[in-house]
Structure 1
Amino acid sequence: MIAAHRLALAATVIALPVIALPGLAAAADLLPPPPPPPVAPPPVEIGSGWYLRGDFTQSWFLNPKDAARPDPNDPGMPPLVGVRMSPEGGYGGGIGYRIFPWLRVDATIDQRGGSDFRAFSSRSTFVTGYNIEAGKIDVLTGLVNVYADLGTWYGFTPYVGAGIGFADKSFRRNYTQTTCLIPACDGGPGAGPREAVARANHSLTSFAWALTAGLSYDIGAGFTLDAAYRYVDLGRAKSGLDAYGYGTRVKDLAANEFRVGLRYNFSNLFTPGLAGNAYGN
């Protein structure tokens, strides 16, 4: 009886691995779970920093100074006095890029209307007569500007900026005319204005710089309303010569300007599923 019991126990022990083998084989057939799918990188904002701008400019020109060269053949030629330029409107535009949320740059072109130029001179200090020099000056500027935005409150963003570039001054329809206050002040008969003497048109391009302070407002859909004051230094201007070899030359040409315009920001323009202005101005 004891031998039979031992035989049965041995058979059971031998049979256990055989019974467990199918389970072990099934467990060996199970593969580890697949790795999670890679996380897609965030969409790249293409073009989010670029913007276009268009502006209307009203310029109040400061009084330039006479820059006529001394004439050794006529040392008594008096300087120009009462130099004036009329205020004029203009228009312009440009393209810009926002480098940081608070820093942006743009390049602008602005054309102003023909300002009426007028100046006087008199050898007799306006006792016997005087000369008038007149014409029109068109001013075109091209500037590269840098702006610092000073924060945004309720959609309003004040900013300051500075720019450098060029100014092209076109002097046209220029003439000089003598008026006698007494008879024969210039050797001719009678008093009154003499025939005007035309001077040739002439353009002069020189260095220009500007300082700006402004305020912008985000009106949505990528558009920003912009209003600013700008001081711009325009350098020198001169006319062509007349039949006697004389011309008009002025320096320290500058203007106080008020500009109002619109900027369009290309924020997330090419990014699917995203819209709006990334920076709010």
Structure 2
Amino acid sequence: MIVPLRLGLVATFAAGTLVGVLAGAAAAADLPPLPPAPVQATPVAIGSGWYLRGDFTQSWPDHPRDGTRPDPNDPGMPPLVGLRLSPEGGYGGGIGYQINPWLRVDATIDQRTASSFRGYSSRSVFETGYNLEAGKLSVLTGLVNVYADLGTWYGFTPYVGAGIGFADKRMSRNYTQTTCLTDGCDGLDGTGPREPAFRANHSVATFAWALTAGLSYEIGAGLSLDAAYRYIDLGRAKSGVDLYGGSTRLKDLAASEFRVGLRYRFADSLLPFGATQAYGN
């Protein structure tokens, strides 16, 4: 009689335990799920390849050539000789992107102050008189450039590059003037300079290209000092006409330029969206 009694007690205890476990599981099923683990705030670098640049330019124009078209009504008019453009300074800037450690691109705009130009022509080979054509020429260029950085040694990085774009040339304060060396060389009495004939201001935009070789030095904090030589082909230019229908035309415009400036490279970073949200919020 004792053994059956003990077996009954054990069975009763087991049944009670099972009912308690099932009731706990049911209660646990009614609880809300655990919140997700907090997101780690991992910085994501953006914009580290972008840079801004600002430059000062000293430009030495090459000698252009006379681009005046032959006049069938005046076939004896000789071309301009002794054409000169004064050296001038300028300034500019741009934005660029470092594609990889050795390749980068940028887009630049550069404005040069107005150069003084003059050239001469003479039907008598300067025996009885001559004509002077003079004025101002200002140049604005916009170029897209590609550079190859050739390695870095002690912070110095030599590079070469090429660019294409446009050159907008504005001729202003342009005039032509005859000077007689002998009396009545132009059909008027006396010698010396005659009244000038002024020509209207005029702008011409043409294709331009450039070749560059330079050296940059990393100062720190994203700044680099940049110095470069650039040869730039500027195309042609033309003045407006005067009261007699004449104009000044120049072609084969080009310049050797020395540029010095600063480049600032961005190195910003941002956090992923929602990375700063607190656990359980």
Matched AA of 1:270: S
Match of 1:168 in 2: 168
Match of 1:33 in 2: none
Match of 2:250 in 1: 250
Question: How big is the shift at 1:42?
Answer: 5.7
Q: Does 1:121 align with 2:121?
A: yes
Question: How big is the shift at 1:38?
Answer: 10
Question: How big is the shift at 1:45?
Answer: 1.0
Match of 2:197 in 1: 197
Could you list the runs of 5+ residues in structure 1 that have no partner in the other structure?
Answer: 1-36, 273-281
Question: How big is the shift at 1:270?
Answer: 2.6
Q: Does 1:85 align with 2:93?
A: no
The separation in 2 between residues aligned to 1:197 and 1:227, in whole angstroms, is 43
Superposition pairs of residues 57-206 of structure 1, within 5 angstroms: 57-206=57-206
Seq. identity, %? 76
Any idea what SS the aligned residue of 1:113 has?
strand
Any idea what SS the aligned residue of 2:168 has?
strand
Any idea what SS the aligned residue of 1:114 has?
strand
CA contact (8 A) 2:166 2:205 kept: yes
CA contact (8 A) 2:118 2:132 kept: yes
Matched AA of 1:87: P
Matched AA of 2:56: F
The separation in 2 between residues aligned to 1:211 and 1:159, in whole angstroms, is 11
Residues 55-111 of structure 1: per-residue CA shift (max 9 Å, x gap)? 000000000001111101000010000000000000000000111111110000000
Any idea what SS the aligned residue of 2:175 has?
strand
Residues 8-40 of structure 1: per-residue CA shift (max 9 Å, x gap)? xxxxxxxxxxxxxxxxxxxxxxxxxxxxx8996
Any idea what SS the aligned residue of 2:44 has?
coil
Alignment root-mean-square deviation, CA:
2.5
Matched AA of 1:86: S
Distance verdict in 2 for CA 1:265–1:137, change over 3 Å: same
Q: Does 1:270 align with 2:269?
A: yes
CA contact (8 A) 2:233 2:253 kept: yes
Question: How big is the shift at 1:48?
Answer: 0.4
CA contact (8 A) 2:58 2:258 kept: yes
Matched AA of 1:80: L
The separation in 2 between residues aligned to 1:270 and 1:182, in whole angstroms, is 77
Could you list the runs of 5+ residues in structure 2 that have no partner in the other structure?
Answer: 1-36, 272-281
Matched AA of 2:269: F
The separation in 1 between residues aligned to 2:270 and 2:263, in whole angstroms, is 20
Question: How big is the shift at 1:43?
Answer: 3.1
Match of 2:13 in 1: none
Superposition pairs of residues 221-260 of structure 1, within 5 angstroms: 221-260=221-260
Match of 1:18 in 2: none
The separation in 2 between residues aligned to 1:224 and 1:42, in whole angstroms, is 29
